[in-house]
Amino acid sequence: MTPEAAALAMGLDLPDFDRDGYYGATYGTMKPYHRVGSLLFLSGHVAQAGAEVQKGRLGADLSVDEGYAAARQTGINVLAGIRQAIGSLDHVKGIVRTLNFVVCTPEFEEVHKVSSGLSDLLVEVFGPDRGLGGRATIGVMALAHGVCFETWATVEVA
């Protein structure tokens, strides 16, 4: 099954950033992506477009499950960003890496479980060979607009 067919079969509602605009521009001066050869660098994505935003701090206001859901919704927006940049998810050769930020208390040590919401979605859409890339997750004190999760992604494209 192709990634586009997988996303459709999963019932994913991907925002249309060409039609509606990339929501990240509301955070400041930036462009949604930059491509260098076969590498696509996506600007930060959060669980904002097309969904209720999870605000708060893991370890205080939000559970691991709520953080996981926010990371998964962020993944839907990453897919929309990929589609905006290259036209189709089918042109993805592989997820190179993601850098994930989780707003949490200093004592919260399960940031990796939150990021799995994003990683699991990418594997479901692209399969384990193309969808599983390198990953790092960092606990932070705050993100713009109070969101609890943000990611940067680097994608290899055809």
The series of mean pLDDT values per 10 residues for the chain, 158 residues long, is: 96 92 81 96 85 85 96 96 97 98 98 98 98 98 94 97
pLDDT at site 23? 80
pLDDT at site 41? 98
pLDDT at site 27? 79
- Using N-to-C axis directions, what is the helix angle for 64-86 and 111-131, rounded to 10°? 40
Q: E-strand spans in the chain?
A: 33-36, 39-45, 92-103, 134-140, 149-157
- 51 CB contacts (<8 Å, ≥6 apart)? 73, 76
pLDDT at site 26? 77
pLDDT at site 30? 86
pLDDT at site 49? 59
Strand order across the 33-36 sheet: 33-36, 39-45, 149-157, 92-103, 134-140
The contacts found for 119-128 with CB under 8 angstroms, 24 or more apart, are 120/72, 121/72, 121/75, 121/76, 121/79, 122/75, 122/78, 122/95, 122/98, 124/6, 124/10, 125/3, 125/6, 125/7, 125/10, 125/12, 125/79, 125/89, 126/3, 126/6, 126/89, 126/92, 126/94, 126/95
